[in-house]
Amino acid sequence: MERKWEAKLKQIEERASHYERNPLSPVYRPRLSKSEEPPSIWKLFHRQTHAFNFVKSCKEEVHVFALEYKVGDGQRIYLVTTYAELWFYYKSRKNLLHCYEVIPENAVCKLYFDLEFNKLANQEADGKKMVALLIEHVCKALQELYGVHCSAEDVFNLDSSTDEKFSRHLIFQLHDVAFKDNIHVGNFVRKILQPAFHLIASEDDDSISETTGHRFSHFPETPIKQGISFSEMSSDEGRGESRTRNSKEQERLESAEQSSPDLSFLVVKNNVGEKHLFVDFGVYTRNRNFRLYKSSKIGKQVALEVAEDNKFFPKQSKNISEENQYFLSSLVSNVRFSDTLRILTCDTSQNKQKRVECFNSTRTKAENIEGYNCSPYPEIDQFVRSLVDKNGIKGGIRRWSYFFPEELLVYDICKYRWCENIGRAHKSNNIMILVDLKNEVWYQKCHDPVCKAENFKSACFPLPAEVSLLFLLKEEEEFTAAETMNSDTQNPHEPPSGLSSKDAISDAAWDSGLDEADFVEAAEDAELAEAAECGLLGTAAETLVPDEPITQPRPGCARCRATAEVWMKDLPFAHFPRSNKTSGKMIRMPG
DNA sequence: CAGCGCTACCACACCCC
DNA sequence: GGTGTGGTAGCG
């Protein structure tokens, strides 16, 4: 034990001395680029939190993907890149064979399903018919609960079946509609399939896998909110309009309750004969990994492909191939903000209860409901509150939504209605404050139909220093600069001298997105063939970004700035998505 | 050196009748 | 015996 410790200590000292001999170049030297091409972003991380922290610090629109790399134990590493760059390397299907989208917690996303049953245990089951019936039921539910119209033509239907197992993914391509996050999707799915739980519970008490409510109805509970619409004229809560909407909902609910749908087609048996549902409810958890279109599980051959009975066909585009369109459609968290987008929510009854209690306990204070209407960025919430607390009017945050692609936080404001467009407060329409985390600016839009019609967007104002990522990072850099290990960054592609070859490879993987030539070369290297087989583009598992930073950020360079992800991990803004277990500072939303 | 986020299950403590 | 709690194996 002691010897091990001494060896570690010696290793650290050696490394420290190396960094002293090779101090960090103070000047930022951009990498040589062929033309005006956007820079490559291709980074691998062992830890999901590090990957998300890197995303936060990246100016470009990047996403986290999980790659399986070890047969058997399902171990994964995390890749951060753009959709376009991933597709560039991914499309040939010679590499990156086992990729998963990480559906970021708290991010707006599409409605999706994972469906499966054992064919041997359910020989009479007609999978295609079950899918069609499910889609029909879901569309009906969307119509009745949210007034959202859709059909089987809006459902991207992916098949991953084998001889043993029927397996599908459904990704709903709703028009200008999405869910607040995948937890809300899960609540919605559980809600609309509750009669099926009853079916299992009544027939077989041993295999209840989900707790159920006591009411036996079609869609047992109306969501507490119907989702704000960024387009509709709305939404003074508790006043005339929302009351009108609520009574409409009541009508929908009542008509739904008159007849209970037959969901018996959802009941299947597992390989030991226990009853289960065709729908997998385990896929609605935070940061869920969801297998990509054309990826297979490691150790298996079968990839997700367009199902025979798929009825969704993406729009033709000049610039984007059909396959790429399918790929983009399959991505659950690929939802961009737009003025006309509606965000659906679906709370559990427990959360509703909490919300009511919270509201009752704080309403006398006429304050915001702390803890519920807070985003995972408390500093930014506070700043937004300060923006809407002027001229004796204390506005509040009614709700927030997060759009991962643009890193955009959209705050719906209550009480405070001052609109820059008309130079006064709106009489009946609320405003929005949008915080663009990428560009560190905020601006105002509003729900007023006239302002919307002219696509009004206020001027952009910089976020104040205290909530700016740059500021926090700079402080942290100054703090750590003296004691941080430096390395030679003269050429990002050239590993620091004096390190082991293993470290050298690490550095290359650490610092660069492979360009096409690199990629081909790497993939053809016989020694790396196995790793390539695992889909790692020739960067074997041990060549990943280590937890310790080897390069230090170069001031002014967005990409290099980002490599400080390790230093960032304890900063407040880094706790979104949720930070790792050890920090435990993340405010988790109820539920 | 190295995944993550759950849920079901178990052991145990504590309480009450 | 009922209920709450804390740890963990194992699943997706």
Each residue's pLDDT tens digit, A266-311: 999 988 888 899 999 999 999 999 999 999 999 999 999 999 999 9
The spacing between the Cα labelled CA in A208 and the C1' in B13, in angstroms, equals: 29
- Please give the Cα distance from A96 to A253 (Å, whole number): 46
Nearest nucleotide to the CA of A114, by C1', is C12
The spacing between the Cα labelled CA in A485 and the C1' in C11, in angstroms, equals: 40
Considering only residues A545 and A427, tell me which one the structure prediction assigns the higher pLDDT.
A427
Q: What is the largest CA-CA distance in chain A?
A: 79
The spacing between the Cα labelled CA in A364 and the C1' in B4, in angstroms, equals: 41
Contact A61, A405 (CB under 8 A): yes
- Please give the Cα distance from A342 to A176 (Å, whole number): 6
The spacing between the Cα labelled CA in A347 and the C1' in B16, in angstroms, equals: 36
DSSP A303: B
Crossing angle of helices A182-192 and A194-203, rounded to 10°: 50
Residue whose Cα is closest to the C1' of B6: A285
The phi, psi pair for A103, rounded to 5°, reads -80, 105
Nearest nucleotide to the CA of A210, by C1', is B7
* pLDDT tens digits, one per residue of A116-128: 999 999 999 999 9
Tokens matching residue A59:
């100016």
Nearest nucleotide to the CA of A116, by C1', is C12
pLDDT of residue A39: 83
Q: Kindly list the domain boundaries of chain A, sorted by start residue.
A: 42-204+263-344, 369-472
- Single out the residue of A191, A218, A221 nearest to residue A281, CA to CA: A191
Residue A84 CA, distance from chain mean position: 17
Strand B bases near protein CB (under 7 Å) are: 1-8
* pLDDT tens digits, one per residue of A391-445: 899 999 999 999 998 999 999 999 999 999 999 999 999 999 999 998 999 999 9
The spacing between the Cα labelled CA in A5 and the C1' in C6, in angstroms, equals: 32
- Residues by Cβ under 7 A, strand B: A 46-49, 66, 73-77, 209-210, 282, 285-287, 289, 542, 544, 546-548, 578, 580-581
Residue type, A352: K
**Lowest mean pLDDT, pick from A149-163, A176-190, A329-343, A471-485:** A471-485
The spacing between the Cα labelled CA in A283 and the C1' in C12, in angstroms, equals: 7
pLDDT of residue A291: 97
pLDDT of residue A202: 56
pTM confidence score: 0.72
Instruction: Out of A25-34, A115-124, A226-235, A472-481, give the one with best mean pLDDT.
Output: A115-124
Residue whose Cα is closest to the C1' of C10: A73
